[in-house]
Structure 1
Amino acid sequence: MSVVKRPRVESAGSGSLIAGGGVDGRTEQITSSLSSPNVQLSGHEAEVLAVQFDATGSFIASGSADKSILLWNSAGENENYGVINGHKGAVLDIRWSRDSSQLFSCSTDLSLGVWDVESGSRLLKQVGHDDIINSIDIIKRGTELVISGSDDGTIGIWDPRQKESVSYIQTEFPILAVAATSVGDQVFSAGVEGTIHSWDYRYPSAPVYTLPGHGETNITGLAVSPDDQQLVSNGMDNTVRTWNVRSFTSDNRTLQVYDGAPHGIEQNLLRARWSPDGSRIAAGSADRTVVIWDVPSRRILYKLPGHIGSVNDVCFSPTEPVIASASSDRSVILGEVN
């Protein structure tokens, strides 16, 4: 792998992301493998648009408008151990493979990438979309497939072992966000029309059902809960919402509405994510904070400062009380959230 000159890794300071502090800003003893309660990873040369822990919690990948993906150790001094180059446009979303040996990415260059993490080389360049690819997700059980959503209005289904797509689902509007259940029995899409669609990709002629609720504003982020029972969405109506996506549900699927994470005028693709146990939701915000809610009560547990730009993506560690946030200020911050 190509190893970069080590970017800055520094404590974010007492005025930044607060470890275990909640809304009152108190700090607690370090309970993770971080060297400091808050660590800022600096090295990208443009906005950081995506961040993801791998399944083991040991590694972090960050994708940027500088066209690169940086790889970091999640513990200790959080060294940057490699860089992946190859996209000709901004990297808008990334996912680790199930075994952490590969990375999947999508870009404004109209392509998806499959990358070998050990060597940093591109294994496949997958093309077929006619416009910017905004979002990807993976099917985690059974055959590993990548789901993509594009401004061309299509959802792509991709086998990371093949250059050509498995199939496409045609929709009427540009797609800004996609998500899939772990077994792939439901694929979700949303975008500029403000409605979420559920699809069975084996029968793509029409959505299985739709979820209105964000009005006519853009929906920029989708994520399925760890138990596959709920979906979270982040919309430009300045709300984060949860939905009941269990099969055979016939009544109103709307569950909860969460406030406190505004979008702002930049119109970035701000995302929302679940904690590993499904008890918390986190979202990026244009007010430069990370907002974390308790799911049942809708109470804001943390509104974490530290960034000096819009927070575009967030990701909980699967193994420790740590959250990573990616920002337009060109940095990633890791912070404890006990």
Structure 2
Amino acid sequence: MDEFDEMGYSLSRLIPESDHFDHGNAALHPNKPLHNIEHEVAQLTKLRSNPNERLTRIGPRRQDLPVSTIRMLAGREGNYSGRGGRFSSADRCHVLSRYLPVNGPWLVDKMSSRAYVSQFSADGSLFIAGFQDSHIRIYNVDRGWKVQKNIHAKSMQWSVTDTSLSPDQRHLVYASMSPIVHMVDVGSSETESPANITEIHEGLDFSSGDDDGGYSFGIFSIKFSTDGHELVAGSSDDSIYVYDLEANKLSLRIPAHSSDVNTVCFADESDHLIYSGSDDTLCKVWDRRCLKTTGKPAGVLTGHLEGIAFIDSKGDGRYFISNGKDQTIKLWDIRKISSSPTRTPGIRISDWDYGWMDYPSQAKDMKHPSDQSVATYRGHSVLRTLIRCYFSPAYSTGQKYIYTGSHNSYVYIYDLVTGAQVATLKHHKEPVRDCSWHPYYPMLISSSWDGGVVRWEFPGSGEAPAPYPRKRLWRRQFY
């Protein structure tokens, strides 16, 4: 019999078994035990999402199922954990991570152009979506998804390829297939600029003054540093750029890869380490503290068979995930980096083009003989466009899931440790390029080439979600 929570939802149906998973190199040697580092990932995840041991002893339960929410609340009220009637962060994650945002969807917006990027702000109060027709919309989540700002991007080439919101949420930068990145004021909830006629779009030139002001390269990925003083970008000229916003000039250009740098990000809040992924199939780690001396990456990680579409950092300066055109997500530990890539002839499929061809069926089970990744996740598809993947929120799930868009128009949610597909969200008619999980609420937004931006939630038994300001009360009760 399934264990049910107080809302009547079958927990075992939330987490179906899946065989689309392998543990890094261990998958190449089925009889070989898992490496210690893989046990460490599992242990860290348990520490961040398992309840206090005393709470697990309240009443009878099946050991293979989570402690029910009712028992958790009863244990908190009875102070079983000795925390003065409060949940620990792990207790909170144990409860909230069970309520996956699978109900819906409810329409946020519908545009006549492909949606390329969409992300929540760090506090979840804003949501930004960028479209191929040059529109970037900023929605105020707490005011019923009202459009706070409708930006018409300048100097567009092909599409809005990426956006990034400053840590103080005052400025937004956006990029396209151009060396000019533009920055615009976000404004406040009281100011709107739907016409966008007088808006100042400050142009930041990433070209180093080496060209004639034309579009010699484009920018695929751009991110603010934690302090908001710098931008890091990956480009079509195989380079990584760092722009100093205070000095208003380019401060660093790294000839980083042998092909397009599709994705870059800072590893953690220190902003010393940068991760990059390229069409040359390699992930690289760059330490800016020694870069000027060595001119080389701190290390290289090999394992993908095709180009890297996207990288997301766990934020701890150690782990990150990458979405690859070989139709896999890989989990990496930078302590396994090597000084140079391991090249094995014949791995890449030379006559295959992800832009218009399906991935060859005979290649789906191929594995790199020198794979340095910790784990590999399969089931989604990365075709036609740079599909994005992410860790689930630390606050509500302890980052125990990985989620991704997919060319086949679905959103996939994987269990980080087991690799099981715990949910598949089906609604869109075209590729889902980007998706974003709210940092605190059980809410996920998916955006697609069909122009749709839709909201998935777990409000209960399928009823329409409650007004958003009320959900702050729901969040507070799990502190």
Give the TM-score normalised by structure 2. Answer: 0.59
2:321 maps to which of 232, 241, 249: 232
Matching of residue 336 in structure 1 with residue 425 in structure 2:
no
- Determine which of 257, 269, 276 is the counterpart of 2:376: 257
> Aligned residue for 1:300?
421
Residues 1:77 and 1:22: Cα distance change in structure 2 (over 3 Å): farther
- Per the alignment, residue 28 of structure 1 pairs with none
**Counterpart code for 1:245:** I
Pairwise CA distance, 1:162 = 4.5
From the superposition, tell whether residues 213 and 337 of structure 1 become closer, same or farther in structure 2 (CA, over 3 Å).
Answer: farther
Q: Are 1:85 and 2:152 an aligned pair?
A: yes
Query: Would the aligned equivalents of 2:181 and 2:206 in 1 still touch at CA under 8 Å?
Result: no
Distance (Å, rounded) in 2 between the aligned partners of 1:116 and 1:162: 18
Match of 2:240 in 1: 155
Aligned mates of 1:50, 1:143 — CA distance in 2: 20
2:179 and 2:205 in contact (8 A); partners too: yes
Judge conservation of contact 2:171–2:185 (CA < 8 Å) in 1.
yes
Q: How far apart, CA to CA, are the structure 1 residues paired with 2:246 and 2:446?
A: 30
Q: Does residue 1:208 correspond to 2:303, yes or no?
A: no
**What CA distance in whole angstroms lies between the structure 2 residues aligned with 1:262 and 1:60?**
25
* 1:45 maps to 2:112: yes
Q: 1:40, CA displacement in angstroms? A: 1.8
Where in structure 2 are the equivalents of 1:119-198 lying within 5 Å? 121-122=199-200, 124-129=202-207, 130-140=216-226, 142=227, 144-171=229-256, 172-182=258-268, 183-198=270-285
Relative to the length of structure 1, the TM-score reads 0.83
Which of the pair is proportionally richer in helix? 2
Contact 1:274 1:316 in 2 (8 A): no
2:407–2:432 CA contact under 8 A, matched in 1 = yes
Identity, in percent, stands at: 23
The structure carrying a bigger strand percent of its residues is 1
* C-alpha distance in structure 1 between counterparts of 2:282 and 2:393, whole Å: 26
Q: Secondary structure at the match of 2:288?
A: coil
In structure 2, how many angstroms separate the alpha carbons of the residues matched to 1:329 and 1:194? Answer: 29
Task: Return the alpha-carbon distance in structure 2 between the equivalents of residues 62 and 247 of structure 1.
Answer: 36
Matched, 1:321 2:442: yes
5+ residue gaps in structure 2? Answer: 1-10, 17-95, 194-198, 208-215, 340-370, 460-479
How far residue 227 of structure 1 moved from its aligned partner, in angstroms, is: 2.9
Q: Whole-Å Cα distance in 2 between the matches of residues 302 and 289 of structure 1?
A: 10
1:139 & 1:223 partners in 2: Cα distance?
14
User: Which ranges of structure 1 fall in alignment gaps of 5 or more residues?
Assistant: 1-19, 25-30
Letter in 2 for 1:239: T
Instruction: Supply the distance in 2 between the matched residues of 1:322 and 1:249 (Cα, whole angstroms).
Output: 38
Comparing 145-154 with 116-125, greater Cα deviation is found at 116-125
Asked if the contact 1:132/1:150 (under 8 Å) is kept, the reply is yes
Helix, strand or coil at the partner of 1:315: strand
**Relative to structure 1, is the Cα distance of residues 186 and 329 closer, same or farther in structure 2, using a 3 angstrom cutoff?**
same
Q: Distance in 2 between matches of 1:76 and 1:37?
A: 20
Mark the CA change 1:280 to 1:122 in structure 2 (over 3 Å): closer, same or farther. farther
Partners of 2:239 and 2:317 in 1: how far apart?
Answer: 23
How much does 1:261 deviate? 0.9
> 2:139 maps to which residue?
72
**Structure 2 counterpart of 1:271, from 385, 388, 395:** 388
**Match of residue 241 from structure 1:** 330
Counterpart contact for 2:301–2:336, Cα < 8 Å? no
Q: Is the Cα contact below 8 Å between 1:44 and 1:66 reproduced in 2?
A: no
The count of residues paired between Structure 1 and Structure 2 equals 307
1:128 Cα offset (Å): 2.3
C-alpha change, 1:228 and 1:275, in structure 2 (3 Å) is farther
Q: Which moved more, 1:108-117 or 1:57-66?
A: 108-117
> How far apart, in 2, do the equivalents of 1:280 and 1:272 lie?
11
For 1:4, the equivalent position in structure 2 comes to none
Pairwise CA distance, 1:70? 0.5
- Letter of the 1:285 counterpart: S
- Displacement of 1:96 in angstroms is 1.2
Residue 117 of structure 1, aligned match among 161, 179, 186: 186
C-alpha contact (below 8 Å) 1:229/1:244 kept by paired residues? yes
Q: Which protein has the larger Cα radius of gyration, Structure 1 or Structure 2?
A: 2
Equivalent residues of 2:436, 2:445 under 8 A apart? yes
Aligned 8 A contact 1:52 1:96 in 2: no
> 1:166 Cα shift?
1.5
Q: Is the 8 A contact 1:169 1:201 kept in 2?
A: no
- Partners of 2:244 and 2:335 in 1: how far apart? 26
The AA in structure 1 aligned to 2:260 is: P
Q: Which moved more, 1:291-300 or 1:76-85?
A: 76-85
